[in-house]
Structure 1
Amino acid sequence: MIRAVSAAETAPTTYPWAVRAEGLVVRAGRRLAVNGLNLTLGDGVHGLLGPNGAGKTTLMRALATVLKPAGGQLSLLGDDVTGRADLRRVRRALGYLPQHFGFYPRFTVREFVEYMAWLKEMPKAVIPGAVQRAVERVGLADRADSRMKTLSGGMLRRAGIAQAIVNDPQVLLLDEPTVGLDPEQRLDFRELLREIGLDSCVLVSTHLVEDVAAACTDVVLIDQGRLVWQGSAAELAERGRDGGVGDSATERGYAALLRAYRGQVSA
């Protein structure tokens, strides 16, 4: 007799927080780049802001399980990743675009994304369709069979985004994804982020505050490896309504929060 399967059994697993860090400490070489960070992130598009040297890239690498935390607790999709746990299940559900990513120059775009899908242990039968969809979503369908070495800087960045989203990740980590994209491509990218963020946790590290204001539902500001502020893009803009340094309310709010935090630290 065939047993009926309930909707609850087939529904995707949900987590109170896709990312949860408590007192997180991560080293970049000998430097303490993330120092006692507390952070929780759920579904949606989260912008990660901070000055150069704030610890953004180190944090992204720790969330991508590239760097092992030196202290504190870090859980991804309900799994503790600070110990010696098997990370394969978590990594299959991650998408990651680092600032600088490597590739075989003679690979075509399709071959590159297929190879990354294989590394993510995607089922062989679904890879061709997933690769085609990822390439189309980043606007590279007409260059899918071009070799990577022939692409412009912006196209390479889009190929990098394609490999990050090919497995429909539950947590998507993008470090400076809009570098090299022209204004039209950045608009398309913002729309893609909003689409992915409907049912996934997306964290975007960037220096372009206008991208955060346009695409992100939530903003995380860090400095010296610590959380300075977390709130909505609208709340960040409100911090800059009364003037200050910056060309937009969002930029002025960003600058005001950093100044206030540094004043408290030095007091």
Structure 2
Amino acid sequence: MTIGKDHRMTPAVSAADIAPTTYAWEIRATGLKVRVGGRRMAVDGLDLTLGTGVHGLLGPNGAGKTTLVRTLATVLRPTEGTLELLGETAGGMGEHRALRRRIGYLPQEFGYYRRFTVREFVEYMAWLKEVPKAEIPAAVQRAVERVGLADRADERMKTLSGGMVRRVGIAQAIVNDPTVLLLDEPTAGLDPAQRLRFRELLQELGTDTCVVVSTHLVEDVAAACTDVVLLAGGRLVFQGTPDDLAAAGGPEHMGDSPLERGYSALLQSPGPERGAW
């Protein structure tokens, strides 16, 4: 069969591209366990559901926050239990290419090319996330504007301060307009004014995105998060609103604010692995 010069083939569309959204929660973990280092169960039997909004992930060092975020990003594979992301069972380690297009992820430390400009680096990350080529310039411009770096977009990464590099990390995480956004200690290195702007950005994103923010700064949670997830020893200690967290503490507990006192009270309460710093 001969195909004429003016014939145009219709691009193939997969069933996944046209399927309706059927999941009840953007993130659902049931009995989730994740082992790291061959022995230690860093996430140990976690049951958790998260939907649209900004979810603050709190906990002491070693609580399992980073391991959980890496698992949600499909970097780590669950050891036991189930993890559903956007209705798809997650396995990690190279699987779920289509799913990763819908996830934004900022790790605690992220690699970048020092000779790239800000714009080039965010463009490169957009390409890796398979943002359509025609949409990349506008997506990159929007992302750098949202993190306040439009005036530095054509400067090389090696010339930026640590706080600015962190803001570039946030830009690359949001360049694909993700449905699930995972941010691990995103305010590290930001000055007070930048942190205030970041909180505003979180509130904007949380209107139509499931945002998970791992942080040790309780005040960031109070200002920007719709709910709080508190981990200790890889297990869920608390999930509720910032007001609920504040109500859990009293004047007898450590902390300079009601939220910090609630945080301390919950970690000191009886239960496996709680209170371990």
TM class, shorter-chain normalised? Answer: over 0.9
Structural RMSD (CA): 1.9
Aligned residue number for residue 225 of structure 1: 234
Matches within 5 A, 1:33-48: 33-48=42-57
Matches within 5 A, 1:40-189: 40-82=49-91, 86-189=95-198
| Matched residue type, 2:49 | T
1:240 equivalenced with 2:240 (yes/no): no
Q: What is the CA deviation profile of residues 108-152 of structure 1, one whole-angstrom value per residue up to 9, with x for unaligned ones?
A: 000110000001011000000000000000000010001111100
Query: How far apart are 1:100 and its partner, in Å?
Result: 0.2
SS of structure 1 residue aligned to 2:271? helix
SS of structure 1 residue aligned to 2:272? helix
In 1: Cα distance, 2:218 partner to 2:28 partner: 24
TM-score for both structures, normalised by structure 2: 0.89
Q: Which has the higher helix share?
A: 1
SS of structure 1 residue aligned to 2:110? coil
Aligned residue number for residue 6 of structure 1: none
In 1: Cα distance, 2:264 partner to 2:93 partner: 39
In 1: Cα distance, 2:252 partner to 2:163 partner: 34
SS of structure 2 residue aligned to 1:265? coil
Largest Rg, 1 or 2: 2
Query: How far apart are 1:20 and its partner, in Å?
Result: 0.4
1:22 equivalenced with 2:30 (yes/no): yes
In percent, how many aligned pairs have the same letter? 71
SS of structure 1 residue aligned to 2:124? helix
Query: How far apart are 1:94 and its partner, in Å?
Result: 0.1
| Matched residue type, 1:265 | P
In 2: Cα distance, 1:14 partner to 1:136 partner: 33
| Matched residue type, 1:27 | R
Query: How far apart are 1:40 and its partner, in Å?
Result: 0.4
1:206 equivalenced with 2:215 (yes/no): yes
TM-score for both structures, normalised by structure 1: 0.92
Query: How far apart are 1:240 and its partner, in Å?
Result: 2.4
Distance 1:84 1:103, change over 3 A: closer
Unaligned runs of 5+ in 2: 1-17
SS of structure 2 residue aligned to 1:54? coil
Aligned residue number for residue 6 of structure 2: none
Unaligned runs of 5+ in 1: 1-9
Q: Is the 8 A contact 1:75 1:82 kept in 2?
A: no
In 1: Cα distance, 2:62 partner to 2:139 partner: 36
SS of structure 2 residue aligned to 1:199? coil
Q: Is the 8 A contact 1:243 1:249 kept in 2?
A: no
Query: How far apart are 1:199 and its partner, in Å?
Result: 0.5
Aligned residue number for residue 7 of structure 2: none
Q: What is the CA deviation profile of residues 15-73 of structure 1, one whole-angstrom value per residue up to 9, with x for unaligned ones?
A: 31000000111122222111111110000000000000001000000000001111100
